[in-house]
A and B are shown apart, each in its own frame.
Chain A
Amino acid sequence: DIQMTQSPSTLSASIGDRVTITCRASQSISRWLAWYQQKPGTAPKLLIYRASILENGVPSRFIGSGSGTEFTLTISSLQPDDFATYYCQQYSSYLMYSFGQGTRLELK
């Protein structure tokens, strides 16, 4: 199974800050990586797929990059609506999908 490890687990930041979340895969997944945002009591919301492609309607301040085993999600200028938990998901095989444990982004 492919393990996904995110860092940090918690990130404290202020409005306007640039923040970066890292996701590492236990083996190469090419660019088969998605990022989701989740707020309490709601389902995850897709932000980015294929490592760097923005889902329709997602603000351009969300930037995904990486390939192979190391990926990042950057928010270029934090807005109040961005405080949430973020998850990465690998989809390199239709037989097994896995997610990171999450990064909680909180207001400093």
Chain B
Amino acid sequence: QVQLVQSGAEVKKPGASVKVSCRASGYSFIDYYIYWLRQAPGQGPEWMAWINPDSGDTHHAQKFQGRVSVTRDSSINTAEMEMSGLRSDDTAVYYCARGLVSAQFSGNADYFPYWGQGTPVIVSS
């Protein structure tokens, strides 16, 4: 079965960077896009970026461009999201998710049947 297992909780000071990993299993990692989302306390989820694990192509939501980097290591079936210049309003649970759109295709939007367990990131001085 599809599983996405994320790294553990992080506590960071303002201005620092954080890296969250997402290890996939139960399917061919390079076959499906990986999406990164976050959810601040009491808010709805917010999409941040996606990566095509096959080609390495990425796309970010405008508000995260220049501050978020998403990468993958196909040899270990793992995607990573790194955010720099952390602020207190970046405190949230960060999720990776997988959809159903094949990585062989571009331009097709997706929904998210599969989610990681979430990684809490707390930004506090």
A residues sitting closer than 8 Å to B (CB atoms) are: 1, 32, 34, 36, 42-46, 49, 55, 87, 89, 91-102
Contact = CB atoms under 8 A, between A and B. Distances in A.
Interface stretch (B9-17, B67-75, B77-85, B106-114): B106-114
B26 interface: no
Contacts of A100: 44
B108 to A, nearest CB: 6
Given A43-B95, A43-B116, A96-B61, A91 B45 contact: no
Contact of A97 (B108, B109, B113, B117): B109
Contact of B44 (A87, A91, A92): A87
Contacts of A34: 111-112
Nearest to B120: A41
Interface of B: 35, 43-47, 50, 59, 61-62, 95, 97, 101, 106-113, 115-118
Contact of B46 (A36, A94, A99): A99
Given A99-B46, A100-B44, A92 B109 contact: yes
A87 B110 contact: no
Contacts of B108: 94
